């Protein structure tokens, strides 16, 4: 996979994720959810109403610590990186 560069200083980034601890300290990856949050007493705090959810991928710059978040659909990550490279470095 191609390395993501930091948008602030141009140095390489390390790929990671945002950790979420749930009920009984169950570990999971934080999700991006479409739209605004809607509170609900019956749905563990928030009602998602079938909204789109994508796991958050976080790139951390190895030089300045800047974080960039992406919420890829399944299989979308490689396509997005290639499209971004073409916009930055047109052939
Ligand atoms: Zn940086």
Q: What is the pTM of this model?
A: 0.73
Distance from the alpha carbon of residue 28 to the mean position of ligand 1, in angstroms: 27
Going from the Cα of 56 to the center of ligand 1, the distance in angstroms, rounded, reads 19
- 31 pLDDT above the threshold of 80: yes
pLDDT at residue 45, rounded to an integer: 83
**Contact predicate 47/33, CB 8 Å:** no
CA distance 67 to 16: 10
Predicted pLDDT of residue 33: 93
Q: Where do the structural domains in the chain lie, given as residue ranges?
A: 13-88
Helices marked H in 8-76: none
- Tens of pLDDT, residue by residue over 48-64, are 888 999 999 999 999 99
Distance 65 CA to ligand 1 centre (A): 6
Q: Which residues surround ligand 1, an ion (CB under 5 A)?
A: 6, 8-9, 11, 61, 63-64, 66
């Amino acid at each position: 996979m191609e390395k993501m560069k930091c948008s602030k200083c141009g140095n390489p980034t390390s790929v990671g994720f945002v950790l979420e601890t749930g009920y009984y300290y169950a570990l999971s990856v934080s999700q991006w959810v479409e739209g605004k949050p809607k509170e609900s007493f019956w749905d563990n705090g928030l009602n998602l109403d079938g909204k789109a959810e994508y796991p958050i991928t976080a790139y951390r710059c190895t030089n300045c610590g800047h974080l960039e978040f992406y919420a890829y659909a399944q299989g979308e990550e490689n396509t997005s990186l290639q499209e971004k490279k073409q916009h930055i470095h047109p052939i």
